Amino acid sequence: MATTNRNISLRELRAFCAAAENESFRVAADQLFLTASAVSHQIKNLENELGKKLFERGNRSISLTADGEMLYADIYPLIQQFDEVAQRHRTSEHRASLRISVQPFFASELFVPRLPRFRTQHPDIDITVDTSDESSEKHPASADVSIRVFKSPPSKLEHDRLFPLRLAPAGSPEFYDGIKVVGNRIVSDFPLIIHESRPRAWREWQRASGLSLPRDPATMRLDSMIAVARAAERGLGAALIPVQLSESWFQSSSLVHLFDTELTTDDAYYIVYDQAQKNLDTVQRFRTWALQEFGTAA
């Protein structure tokens, strides 16, 4: 009577199939959220248990041996069948989860208003949105995916560019009524509201517009874009506001455009995530939705 080999695990067989499909331990590791050395170790265990060499290993590539091809032909349909059975018996209470990090002003003005559309399309995903970090050039380690401002594509993260950051000079209607321009110089009182992360933005706008700001204007420095917009709304000065994020403010006339010239910065909004999350279904579904919603926001 034949004995059953109890040392071969489903995990080893999955690793074998992933490596066979991709002809790479590294790519298989990315798909399985393992290290390449862990995949290699699992396949080595499988070869030892079967007493067969399954892969030819080159310096930079692998390929199936004849024994490996026969095993793959037998095992792959069984792995698929197992996944289908597991899916059928998964309870309806099983829900996916996704942790999203976005900057506060983007969250309040563009992201949250459109979030119901994502929930309608993907009711099976529970989401957690973190808006606690104002800083740019950052993807929090606690997040599965982020939408943030970067000066250039983040080289160590998977990324898609959504739209460039454009800034428009804005203020309250009453503030606008008090502006006086003589020649190409603003000669009326023109306090500047400055976001701490963009201390030179007004100088850059001055060069782009051809208008000269008053000499030594009063300034107010704030560390969040929401605070900047609120200060401008209260008539405390002129602020440079992200155009694509401020449509509701302009439509309601809480803020008005002070001049026509906008400042197109070198920065852009990107959707970013770690390479280890590349094949996570929830991340890819969110990525597809975000590209549709925000990819044309320019």
Domains located in the chain, CATH noted: 10-89 (1.10.10.10), 96-162+268-294 (3.40.190.10), 165-266 (3.40.190.10)
The H or E element spanning position 94 is none
- When comparing pLDDT for 49 and 255, which is higher? 255
Please report, as a single letter, which amino acid is at residue 277.
Q
Q: How far apart are CA 231 and CA 236, in angstroms?
A: 6
Q: Judge if pTM exceeds 0.85.
A: no
Query: Which tokens is 92 given?
Result: 């309806």
- Average pLDDT taken over every residue of the chain: 89
Check residues 135 and 297 and name the one with the higher pLDDT: 135
Q: What is the pLDDT of residues 102-153, one digit of tens each?
A: 999 999 999 999 999 999 999 999 999 998 777 788 888 788 999 999 999 8
The stretch 169-178 carries a mean pLDDT of: 97
Q: What is the pLDDT of residue 28?
A: 84
Whether the Cβ atoms of residue 162 and residue 292 lie closer than 8 Å to each other: no
What's the rounded Cα separation, in Å, for the pair 202 and 200?
6
Alpha-carbon dihedral sign for residues 249, 252, 253, 256:
positive
Q: What share of the chain is helix, strand, coil (3-state, %, to 5)?
A: 40, 25, 35
- Do residues 97 and 126 make contact, with C-beta atoms less than 8 angstroms apart? yes
- Can you give the pLDDT at residue 6? 54
Residue appearing with tokens 């008005």? 256
**Tokens for 290?**
């975000």
Q: Would you state the structure tokens that stand for residue 48, as one six-digit string?
A: 């030892």
Q: Residue 207: CB partners within 8 Å, gap ≥ 6?
A: none
| Residue 35: pLDDT band with limits 50, 70, 90 | confident
Per cent of the chain over pLDDT 90 is: 64
Look at residue 86 in the predicted model and tell me its pLDDT: 72
Q: Beta strands 185-186 and 181-182: pairing type?
A: antiparallel
More confident residue, 84 or 177: 177
**CA–CA distance, 76 with 261 (Å, rounded to integer):** 60
Q: Which two tokens stand for residue 198?
A: 């963009």
